[in-house]
Amino acid sequence: MSKRSREVSWKAFLREENLPHQWCPGCGYGVILKSMLYAFEKGGIAPKDVVVVTGIGCWGKADDYLYANTVHVTHGRALPVATGIKVANPSMKVIALMGDGDSATIGGNHLIHSSRRNIDVVALVANNLNYGMTGGQYSCTTPLYSRTSTSWYGDPEPALDICRLSETAGASFVARTTVYHAAMIEKYIGMALSHEGFSLVEVISPCPTYFGRYNKLSKAPQMLKWLKEQSIPIERVKDLSEENLKEKFVTGVFADKKGHSFLSRYREIQSRARNELESE
Amino acid sequence: MHSHEGEIEIAEGKKFLIRIRRERCKGCEICIEFCPKKVFEGDELGHPIPERIDECIGCGTCELRCPDFAIEVIPKECHDSEEKS
């Protein structure tokens, strides 16, 4: 419903003159973008207080449709740039928009180290299970045995679990949902925005043009229903065998830890250094 | 009742209005499929036509799921007050 009586309307963020956007019919990125704007509205965040850093790929185009401070950087380097911006401007909300290739393949190293540092940045990973912009090649998150343009008879590689990787590396907020569960995207982004420390939200998105078409899911509603069938809430995981969990998307909050973030530790060291220098 | 407001197409039901921006719609058929009251009928390109607009319960599913920012559901009284202001 569009009647929301908030201080900042989500429409203040939307660059309506650039619409219709360049994403394919049925692509979930529009839903993720809208959910992000809803979360900004709900959090009472104004466009001037947000920095959106985007990488390369279909999802990297999201900054074209935003009125906020935006930076469009090279492939896989959204997190290092976001880190720099956050450290220099701690009062800004910094959000890095990355696809699966951007965050986990070429930028995988940065994801691990941003998680380890627990830098106060929100990483919003839109995972469409393949490289959509370049023609549907398989990526590190493509489910095992799926057909893509570079694995016509099945992808021989098991998929990487971005959420588990980030959680293991030390991220303090990690959550995953899918575009089918549209209301949850807003909720998780809202939780991530108010969280102190590195927060990663992964959203599995339908790509009916490539991944869907090659895997007999070419209609957008059909692919959304497939996402629903493939996802399992994290609360149910412990009751299921490993066999039942194969190639499923576990959804829910993986980690929500309070504690020291990079900035709080950095401030502590700063004051310690100041005290030491003054006493000399 | 159907009318136009610039580029926006407005369908008016008993309690709710549905505003559709045709130039943004890409015909993915998500709104048609997921509407719990089956308000929409698809045309040959998959664009939604709110045939059964009186059935609309204003749940906003079409608006939430539309990836193209093309559809909006508004309670009638809100639309009227918007026009007055």
CA distance B56 to chain A (A): 12
Three-state SS sequence of chain A: CCCCCCCCCHHHHECHHHCCCCCCCCCCHHHHHHHHHHHHHHCCCCHHHEEEEECCCCHHHHHHHECCEEEECCCCCHHHHHHHHHHHCCCCEEEEEEEHHHHHHCCHHHHHHHHHHCCCCEEEEEECCCECCCCCECCCCCCCCCCECCECCCCCCCCCCHHHHHHHHCCCEEEEEECCCHHHHHHHHHHHHCCCCCEEEEEECCCHHHHHHHCCCCCHHHHHHHHHHHEEEHHHHHHCCHHHHCCCEEEEEEEECCCCCHHHHHHHHHHHHHHHHHHC
Residue of A nearest to B32 (CA): A221
Report the pLDDT value the prediction gives residue B78, as an integer from 0 to 100.
72
| Beta carbons of B66 and A25 less than 8 Å apart | no
* B5-57 pLDDT, tens digit each: 667 888 888 889 999 998 899 999 999 999 999 999 998 888 999 999 988 99
Nearest to A263 by CA among A200, A195, A201, A202: A195
pLDDT at position A10 is 87
Examine residue B56 and state whether it is found in any structural domain, yes or no. Answer: yes
- pLDDT on residue A73: 94
> What is the rounded CA–CA span in Å between residue A74 and residue A107?
10
- Looking at the complex, does the CB of residue B68 fall below 8 Å from at least one CB of chain A? yes
Q: A238 in a domain, yes or no?
A: yes
Residue B85, pLDDT score: 54
The domain in which residue B57 lies consists of 2-75
Q: Which pLDDT value is given to residue A198?
A: 94
| B83 is a domain residue | no
Tens digit of each residue's pLDDT (9 = 90 or more) over A122-175: 999 999 999 999 999 999 999 999 999 999 999 999 999 999 999 999 999 999
Distance between CA atoms of residues A122 and A199, nearest Å: 5
Contact list in B for residue A220 (CB cut-off 8 A) is 28-30
Query: Residue A193 sits in a domain of what CATH number?
Result: 3.40.50.970
CATH code (residue B59): 3.30.70.20
pLDDT value at residue B9: 86
What is the helix (H) or strand (E) element at residue B42, kind and residue range? strand B41-42
Min Cα distance A272 → chain B (Å) is: 49
**Structural domain includes residue B70:** yes
- The predicted structure's pLDDT at residue A9: 86
Average pLDDT over residues A13-41: 92
User: Which of B24, B34, B75 is nearest residue A221 as measured by Cβ atoms?
Assistant: B34
Domain count for chain A, please give it: 1
Identify the DSSP state of B57: -
Nearest to A14 among B29, B58, B69 (CB): B69
Predicted pLDDT at A149: 93
Mean predicted confidence (pLDDT) in A16-26: 90
Query: A74 Cβ partners below 8 Å, 6+ apart?
Result: A55, A56
ipTM of the assembly?
0.88
Q: Per the domain annotation, does A109 fall within a domain?
A: yes
d(CA A112, CA A167): 9
Q: How confident is the model at residue A237 (pLDDT cuts 50, 70, 90)?
A: confident
Q: Which residue has the tokens 């940065």?
A: A110
Which range among A101-110, A238-247, B30-39 shows the weakest confidence by mean pLDDT? A238-247
Whether B8 and chain A come into contact, CB under 8 Å, resolves to no
User: Rounded mean pLDDT of A62-83?
Assistant: 93
Q: How many domains does chain B have?
A: 1
Interface check B36 vs A, CB under 8 A: no
In this structure, is residue A191 part of a structural domain? yes
pLDDT band at B71 (very low <50, low <70, confident <90, very high): very high
* Residue A203 within any structural domain of the chain: yes
pLDDT tens, position by position, A217-233: 889 999 999 999 999 99
- In a domain, residue A1? The reply is no
- On chain A, the residues whose CB falls within 8 A of the CB of B23 are 20
pLDDT at B1 over 70: no
Whether the predicted pLDDT of A78 surpasses 80: yes
Contacts (Cβ under 8 Å, ≥6 apart) of A24 = A132, A207, A208, A209, B26
Question: What pLDDT shows up at residue A254?
Answer: 93
Range of the domain at A24: 10-279
Is it the case that residue A1 has pLDDT exceeding 60?
A: no
Contacts A–B by Cβ distance under 8 A: 68
How far apart are alpha carbons B74 and B79 in whole angstroms? 7
Give the pLDDT of residue A218.
86
Structure tokens at A163: 């959420």
Does residue B81 fall inside a structural domain?
A: no
Question: Where does the pLDDT of residue A2 fall: very low under 50, low under 70, confident under 90, or very high at 90 and above?
Answer: very low
- Mean pLDDT, rounded, of chain A: 91
- Amino acid letter for position B16: F
pLDDT at position A183 is 92
